[in-house]
Structure 1
Amino acid sequence: MALALSPAEFAGIRSRHPLVFQRSWKKRSVPFLVVGGTILYVLYAWWFFAIGAVLSEGRWDRAGAYLADWVSYDVRPTLRFKGEGIEVTYPRFNVLGDNPDPDWVRQVDGRTVEVDVGGARIAATPDLVTITHAGETLEVDLSTGTPTAAEPVPGWAVQKEDEVDADFGFTGSVEIKANRVAIEHRFLGWANFIFDPNSPFFGRSTGEVISLILWGDRLDPDVSNAALAFDNFWNNGEWQHGDVYAKLLQTIIMAFVGTVFAGLVAFPFAFLAARNITPSRLVNHAAKRFFDFQRTIDGLIWALFFIRAFGPGPIPGIAAIFFTDIGSLGKLYAEALENIDEKQREGIRSVGAPPSAVQRFGVLPQVLPVFLSQALYYLESNTRSATIIGAVGAGGIGLKLLEAMRTNQDWENVFYMVILILVVVYAIDGISGALRSRLAGNDHH
């Protein structure tokens, strides 16, 4: 039963013991000090790293262009003026193959070419370029030798010193100069993802491809159309599916082998590091310092070291994961051993069992599920780490990803590989999560 005090009794107690009811100024000031310190630190970090200047000078337009390249592709026809005629040319390497003839580019006659770029229409002659977009029309005079836009210039166009540029948003743009009109037309999706321009299936509709595979005449007398289609997909020159999947498998193997070997080596050393298992302080200290040394050096540094020793390839990646995880898993295993229930050990020891039996039946049943659960978690984590390690030369999809990024043009390939990595990590996460749940005894099936 709670003791109820009248206001008068409470006031009497407070008057007799004022210090009990008086809050210390130190306790009252702690929240203000924490908030003030946090604000000062944020301001200092903002100044030290010049975050304001970085944000103001950032090329956000480039970021948008890179993101667009992840999910789209462009075709770049160029209208070149040859005397009184116009020639339509394309870059040497383009997604339309060696003989491009898109239906949105029409050669009306020798002097006129019409191009549809999304919601814009361009009609070009050697003397005049007319652009219609968003309900507005812009005429650019080329007869004087310098492109000159007629007034008023719409908001989507810009008159420069020796050229006129027009931007149609995501769908594309046009650059008009005295001797040529350079057009960019962007399309949503990934070009030539299934077949590249060198494939006999290139340019055919889905129905035609299926018909050829199922009952059409052989395109190559030596192999069936189905085998030819798979070979053309697997060895796609632009997307390199076969090489990408081989590198992805290499990354998974790197993570798996490195984690398994690290767990096997960390297992016996953990018993030496656990104080309740090995009574020698010298052995405990030596084993723990060994773990500290292994995990203090990051896996990326180990990878660089082993690349110098063994050269590029998966072996340095496996060795880097192996050496790093020995320390991390060893420390976790040792802590799990030090937190076991000693009653089970005492019970087995009381019946006269030898030390090996005490460890086998009194310790392992308690810690083995924990050991396996932690190893599975590190396997999931190392799948992501193996990608970063591979980027420095240790093989796997990380190196393939870095090569695609270096070209600064194959961002759709980068996105493709990122999606594959996400799918693999998600799958390993689900599998390891289910196994950890089963090991922990939480399986409800």
Structure 2
Amino acid sequence: MTVIDANRMNEIEARYPEYFQRSFRQRFGGLTILIATLLYGLYAVWFFDLPKLFAEAHWKRVGIYLSQWISYDVQPEFRIQDDGSIEVRYPRFSPLGDNPHPDWLVNNPDGSITVSISGTSRSITVSKSQTIVTAHGISVPVDVSSGAPKVVGPAPSWMTVYDDNVLANLGFAGDVSISADRVKIRKRFIGWANFLFDPQSSFFDRPAGEVIGLIVSGPRIKPDQSNLSLAFDDIWNNTEWQHGDVWTKLFQTIVMAFLGTLLGSLAAFPLAFMAARNITPNRFLNQILKRFFDFLRSVDMLIWALFLTRAFGPGPLAGSGAIFLTETGTLGKLYSEGLENIDNKPREGIQSTGARTVLVHRYGIMPQIVPVIVSQTLYQWESNVRGATIIGAVGAGGIGLKLWEAMRTNANWENVAYMVILILIVVFLFDTASNALRHRLMGTKAH
């Protein structure tokens, strides 16, 4: 065991003062940050009243909306006529088309109609005097012969009884509303209805094999148009999913992001040279341009889009202009900071040869700054593809406006899911392409 005397200890402390003579910040800085973070978290909980917010939130709606992203429903209505017959009606724009004959609806010999909601475990049988709801392992008759619906026996927890109506919740599979003279059923299906061909298409409700056969070698459905061209027209002009309009708006969003970023980089590039203190030794001009960059990027892209839609009207021009203004400020700041951090030795060496200013910039500055410019511009371009979607929602065009219109109806959540998936795919592709270009131009390997 080695014993260190006082002199040796003092010598060690003098040699390594950073370990033995640490300041208050060094000793307690980490703990102070942790305590401040916890206090801020508690303040945020109090300020936003999070317990009350979570307690009053409509969590059931989240599940309902998410289920509607991946499913659709059919709503047949059964009207009991005066003669005891039952008339089946469907909504005007039913996913089943104008003349539906679903196999889950069976006409029984006694005149009643049975609707299979989910196999044999959940079904509805409608007759002129009563409706039998089978679900959760029991069958509950609802008598309608006396003029008002009346549950025979005790009503289960999944059934709600009103004076003139009985509602039965059958879970994700659907629900049923029973009144004296009509029964309305909502039956839910997994998937997206009529995604390729709508009810107006010549290929609607045909098996996939038959459709492929018609396209490849079948007789022409329309004498003046090939089946392949007809199928493409029917898909592109699908009235329910509006593929043509969605893809056109998506392309508008991509063009908005590209055009706005390109114009912003072209405007920021020369301004950055004038804003950089080591390139342009004019402090007044440096500060004016830097504050100008701060102003452009401090106003959010969404606010610029609102201003420009008022000036030029809704459309992609306003969206491109909003991206242009924001990117001029952002890229101008990034470019100028990159210029101020270059190594001045190559520049001074070229200046010593008597070369013109343009050549000094070309060979003394550009080789150092190009990787920074390319990297930041590509990153902003990728980010603006996402940003263009958001500003589209305020009228700046593109798929954002289309997405907002679908959400406002509160009934087309499957269309919302379709557009969200397209946006995710586009962002993923642009992110991959941007990373590959950055690594290729900068001579590094992508991970």
Q: Do the aligned partners of 2:113 and 2:125 also contact (CA within 8 Å) in 1?
A: yes
Question: Secondary structure of the residue that 1:100 maps to in structure 2?
Answer: coil
- The residue number in structure 1 matching 2:41 is 42
Residues 31 and 362 (structure 1), Cα distance of their counterparts in 2 relative to 1, 3 Å cut: closer
Q: Is the 8 A contact 1:85 1:110 kept in 2?
A: no
Structure 1: how far apart are the matches of 2:141 and 2:315? 58
How many angstroms does 1:52 deviate by?
2.0
1:30 deviation in Å? 5.3
Alignment check: 8 A CA contact 2:174 2:186 kept: yes
Range moving further from structure 2, 232-241 or 76-85: 76-85
Corresponding residue for residue 105 of structure 2: 105
Match of 1:383 in 2: 385
In 1, Cα distance between the equivalents of 2:221 and 2:446?
Answer: 54
Which residue in the other structure is 1:262 paired with?
264
| TM-score normalised to structure 1 length | 0.92
Contact 2:276/2:337 (8 A) holds in 1: yes
Residue matched to 1:6: 3
Aligned partners of 1:293, 1:415: CA distance in 2, in Å? 36
Distance 2:265 2:334 in 1: 11
Instruction: For residues 79-118 of structure 1, give each alpha carbon's deviation from its aligned partner in whole angstroms, at most 9, with x where no partner exists.
Output: 1111222111111111111112111112225741111001
State whether residues 305 and 322 of structure 2, in contact with CA within 8 Å, keep that contact through their aligned partners in structure 1: yes
CA offsets 1:50-69 (integer angstroms, 9 cap, x no match): 22222222222222111111
Q: Does residue 70 of the first structure (1) align with residue 72 of the second (2)?
A: no
Q: Distance in 2 between matches of 1:32 and 1:273?
A: 40
Q: Is the 8 A contact 1:307 1:393 kept in 2?
A: yes
1:74 alignment partner AA? D
Aligned pair count reads 440
Distance 1:173 1:427, change over 3 A: same
Matched residue, 1:146: 148
Secondary structure class of the residue paired with 2:52: helix
Tell me which amino acid in the other structure corresponds to 1:96: L
Q: Which moved more, 1:80-89 or 1:151-160?
A: 151-160
* Farther off after superposition, 32-41 or 22-31: 22-31
| Inter-CA distance 179–224: structure 2 relative to 1 (3 Å threshold) | same
* Counterpart position of 1:294: 296
308, 311, 316: which is aligned to 2:310? 308
* Distance across 2 between alignment mates of 1:42 and 1:341: 43
Equivalents in 1 of 2:358, 2:10: separation in Å?
Answer: 64
Which of 182, 201, 223 pairs up with 1:180? 182
Counterpart of 1:54 in structure 2 is 53
TM-score of the aligned structures, taking structure 2 as reference length? 0.92
Structure 1 residue matching 2:131: 3-state secondary structure:
strand
What CA RMSD, in Å, does the superposition of the two structures yield over aligned residues?
2.5
- 1:168, 1:232 → 2: CA distance? 36
Does the 8 Å contact 2:435/2:446 carry over to 1?
no
Residues 140 and 148 in structure 1, CA contact (< 8 A), matched pair in contact too: yes
The superposition leaves residues 255-284 of structure 1 with CA deviations (integer Å, 9 ceiling, x where unpaired) of 101111111110011000111111111121
Corresponding residue of 2:328: 326
C-alpha distance in 2 between matches for 1:22 and 1:239: 70
Instruction: Tell me which residue corresponds to 2:249.
Output: 247
> What's the offset of the Cα at 1:7?
6.1
Question: For each residue in 1:132-175, what CA deviation from the matched residue of structure 2 results, as whole angstroms up to 9, or x when unmatched?
Answer: 22322222222233322233434433334433322222111112
Q: Describe the shift of the 1:128–1:45 C-alpha distance in structure 2 as closer, same or farther (beyond 3 A).
A: same
Aligned residue identity for 2:107: Q
State whether residues 86 and 128 of structure 2, in contact with CA within 8 Å, keep that contact through their aligned partners in structure 1. yes
Mapped contact 1:77–1:182 kept (Cα < 8 A): yes
> Contact 2:436–2:446 (CA<8 Å) still a contact in 1?
no
Q: CA 1:365–1:117 in 2, change beyond 3 Å: closer, same or farther?
A: same
Contact 2:439 2:446 in 1 (8 A): no
Q: 1:403 aligns with which of 384, 402, 405?
A: 405
8 Å CA contact retained: 1:136, 1:154: no
CA change 1:444–1:305 in 2 (3 A) is closer
Q: Match for residue 88 of structure 1?
A: 88
Amino acid at match of 1:53: K
Is this contact kept in 2: 1:86–1:110, CA < 8 A? no
Match for residue 156 of structure 1?
158
- Matched letter for residue 285 of structure 1: Q
> What are structure 1's unaligned runs of at least 5 residues?
none
Cα offset, 1:33, TM superposition: 4.7
Aligned equivalent of 1:228: 230
Identity of aligned residues (%): 54
Cα separation, 2, equivalents of 1:212 and 1:22: 86
Shift of residue 292, structure 1, vs aligned partner: 1.3
Q: 1-side partners of 2:398 and 2:55: how far apart?
A: 37
Counterpart of 1:335 in structure 2: which amino acid?
E
Q: Which moves more between the two structures, 378-387 or 211-220?
A: 211-220
The residue type paired with residue 104 of structure 2 is W
* CA deviations over 1:371-419 (Å, ceiling 9, x no partner): 1111111110111111111111111111111111111111111111111
Partner of 2:125: 123
Q: How many Å separate the matches in 1 of 2:3 and 2:423?
A: 69
Superposed CA deviations along residues 275-333 of structure 1, whole A, max 9, x for unmatched, are: 11111111211221221121111111111111111111111111111111001000000
User: Offset of 1:11 from its aligned partner?
Assistant: 11
